[in-house]
């Protein structure tokens, strides 16, 4: 085991959480294989961020997989699922893939599992967080445990007992401020990460969406200057 | 429950097994939502077959999702995984997505789970078979059980306790002849199904690949004439 680094597949959205998870994986001595998904033009900034982060963290390979979630997710729009209120049509359209695509983490982790098997890696990192996203079923510890159990029955290596797949969730029980403190300690440049649901055409964060507000609050609580490039003075209004 | 049929998502490859599973789902009174995957030009005949079968079995909707398995599967070609011997390069190329893409059923079932949640369906049918594919980890009963357990933790409905997802595997313990007998009893027209790994440009079965041989043997054992359109007299040589 001394001749080469252990490999880890790290799910990367280009956001704050997954970038911190990647920095943690690297600090544990893993060679990083970062994996992002292209499921619509809304995510162009996220994918650009994920690519830059992959370069900065010197990953062994960065893979972007195109997935067709619109076909399924589009059905939700025409069904009787409840649509969130008090949002502009633009915001709704841009948020529905995030909020409403069911089984998203299951699909993401399934691709990660496939790649991990090809790479003969036994570690998959995902930046899920049970505190800030407690309402999401596929961020709960019991979901992650069940996926890990399934994963070890799904693959050839699992059958042969050669490697055991671990789904690693280093952020699971941290709040946003704790995540930021840990990432900062590891040298993460958060100005590279992208969290905003509704960025400007230039990619600047709006400072007003749920994701921006949560992120900014995390920096304030951590006592670390927020390096996010915002549009105008959008966030200053939140600095109470 | 009397005002509408229960919905089932049925994974459909256009082959003999998944078509039989679909016929069984229909015979149990489900409204069928068939789901196929487009992951390369080799599957054009399979997708054509899946579409024809969806029409013939009058499914409520047939969805084809494009998935990017080549990006991951391609890596297997350049790794040190063992490549099957005594095959022509053409055959190898066309077979690698079938044989070597890891976690394939996990990915397929994850998409089916997403669609089932959107449809508010609690039944997903998959034509896996533990007898003819006993070497495949993701065809084993323990994998299916583990996926079902995970699925019930992954989704919103699972959290709310509203519906419970069932992964239905009606073929799990049947051999090929038994599958053919059951499908024939239910009126399946097997001449529409496509199993061959290496069809002619016109879509005729080669009669020589593993899949063709297994399929033809099933018909012989079932005592039912094999309706498969073969190239020339390819199979007659096997009729010992």
pLDDT tens-digit map of A126-148 = 999 887 655 677 888 999 999 99
Give the Cα separation of B103 and A71 in Å (integer): 22
pLDDT in tens, A196-230: 877 888 889 988 887 888 899 999 999 999 999 89
CA nearest A148 in B: which residue?
B150
Nearest CA to B111 out of B68, B71, B70, B75 is that of B68
Q: Is A6-195 a CATH 3.40.50.620 domain? A: yes
Q: Is pLDDT above 70 for B3?
A: no
pLDDT in tens, B7-63: 999 999 999 999 999 999 999 999 999 999 987 645 578 899 999 999 999 999 999
| DSSP-derived secondary structure for A86-152 | S--HHHHHHHHHHHH-TTHHHHHHHHHHHHHHHHT--EEE----TTTTTT-GGGSHHHHHHHHHHHH
Classify residue A106 by burial, with Cβ atoms within 10 Å: 0-12, 13-18, 19+. Answer: buried
| Angle formed at CA B146 by CA B157 and CA B38, multiple of 5 degrees | 80
> What are the helix (H) ranges across chain A?
16-27, 44-56, 70-78, 89-100, 104-119, 141-154, 156-160, 176-185, 210-222
| Angle formed at CA B216 by CA B215 and CA B219, multiple of 5 degrees | 95
Contact A137 B117 (CB under 8 A): no
Residues on B contacting A at a C-beta cutoff of 8 Å: 63, 65-69, 71-73, 75-76, 79, 81, 101-107, 110-111, 113-115, 117-120, 137-138, 140, 142-143, 146-147, 149-151, 153-156, 158-159
Higher pLDDT, A68 or A95: A68
Contact A113 B103 (CB under 8 A): yes
Q: What is the pLDDT of residue B94?
A: 37
At residue B2 the predicted structure's pLDDT band, cuts being 50, 70 and 90, is: very low
Give the Cα separation of B75 and A117 in Å (integer): 10
Q: What is the pLDDT of residue A80?
A: 36
CA nearest A64 in B: which residue?
B71
Q: Is pLDDT above 70 for A173?
A: yes
Contact B154 A111 (CB under 8 A): no
Q: What residues does B238 pair with on adjacent strands? A: none
pLDDT above 70 covers a percentage of chain B that reads 77
B80 to chain A, minimum CA–CA distance in Å? 9
Total number of residues shown for chain B: 240
Which tokens in the block code for residue B159?
A: 């959290």
Give the Cα separation of A66 and B39 in Å (integer): 12
ipTM over 0.95: no
Q: Is pLDDT above 80 for A8?
A: yes
CB distance A209 to A194 below 8 Å? no
pLDDT above 90 covers a percentage of chain A that reads 51
For residue B126, give the DSSP letter: -
Contact A118 B153 (CB under 8 A): no
Higher pLDDT, A27 or A72: A27
Query: Chain A partners of B66 at a C-beta cutoff of 8 Å?
Result: 66, 68
CB distance A12 to A18 below 8 Å? yes
Q: What is the pLDDT of residue B27?
A: 97
Query: Chain A partners of B137 at a C-beta cutoff of 8 Å?
Result: 153-156, 158-159
B209 to chain A, minimum CA–CA distance in Å? 23
How much is the mean pLDDT over chain B? 81
At residue A160 the predicted structure's pLDDT band, cuts being 50, 70 and 90, is: low
CA nearest B74 in A: which residue?
A118
Q: What is the pLDDT of residue A87?
A: 41
Give, to the nearest 10 degrees, the angle between helix A44-56 and helix A16-27. 20
Give the Cα separation of B167 and A214 in Å (integer): 37
B45 to chain A, minimum CA–CA distance in Å? 21
Nearest CA to B171 out of B127, B106, B211 is that of B127
Contact A79 B119 (CB under 8 A): yes
Higher pLDDT, A80 or B102: B102
Higher pLDDT, B172 or B99: B172
Domain-by-domain residue ranges, chain A?
6-195
A10 to chain B, minimum CA–CA distance in Å? 14
CA nearest B109 in A: which residue?
A107
Q: Please, what sign has the CA dihedral across residues B152, B35, B104, A139?
A: negative
CB distance A144 to A92 below 8 Å? no
Tokens 């995970």 -> residue:
B150
Give the Cα separation of B97 and A205 in Å (integer): 41
Fold annotation for B7-194: Rossmann fold (3.40.50)
| Best mutation target, B78, B150, B152, B161, to test chain A (most A CBs within 10 A) | B150
| Angle formed at CA B147 by CA B143 and CA B150, multiple of 5 degrees | 140
Higher pLDDT, B190 or A132: B190
How much is the mean pLDDT over chain A? 81
CB distance B96 to A103 below 8 Å? no
Pairing of the two strands A30-38 and A6-11: parallel
Element (H, E) at A61: strand A61-66
Find which of A1-15, A199-213, B139-153 is predicted with most confidence, using mean pLDDT. Answer: B139-153
Q: Is pLDDT above 60 for B217?
A: yes
Contact B147 A142 (CB under 8 A): no
Nearest CA to A49 out of A89, A12, A6, A10 is that of A12
A210: how many CB neighbours lie within 10 A of its CB?
14
């Amino acid at each position: 085991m001394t001749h080469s680094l252990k490999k880890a597949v790290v799910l990367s959205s280009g956001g704050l959480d997954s970038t911190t998870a990647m920095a943690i994986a690297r600090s544990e001595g893993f060679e990083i294989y970062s994996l992002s998904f292209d499921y619509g033009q809304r995510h162009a900034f996220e994918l650009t961020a994920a690519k830059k982060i992959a370069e900065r963290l010197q990953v062994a390979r960065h893979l972007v997989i195109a997935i067709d979630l619109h076909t399924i997710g589009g059905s939700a729009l025409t069904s009787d699922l409840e649509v969130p209120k008090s949002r502009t049509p633009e915001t709704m359209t841009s948020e529905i893939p995030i909020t409403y695509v069911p089984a998203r983490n299951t699909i993401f982790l399934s691709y990660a599992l496939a790649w991990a098997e090809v790479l003969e890696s036994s570690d998959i990192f995902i930046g899920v967080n049970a505190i800030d996203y407690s309402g999401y079923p596929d961020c709960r510890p019991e979901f992650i445990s069940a996926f890990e159990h399934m994963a070890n029955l799904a693959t050839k290596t699992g059958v042969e007992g050669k490697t055991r797949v671990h789904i690693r969730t280093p952020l699971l029980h941290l709040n946003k401020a704790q995540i930021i403190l840990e990432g900062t300690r590891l040298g993460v440049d958060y100005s590279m990460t992208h969290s905003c649901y509704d960025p400007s055409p230039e990619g600047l964060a709006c400072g007003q969406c749920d994701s921006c507000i949560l992120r900014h609050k995390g920096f304030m609580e951590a006592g670390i200057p927020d390096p996010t490039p915002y549009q105008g003075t959008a966030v200053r209004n939140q600095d109470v």
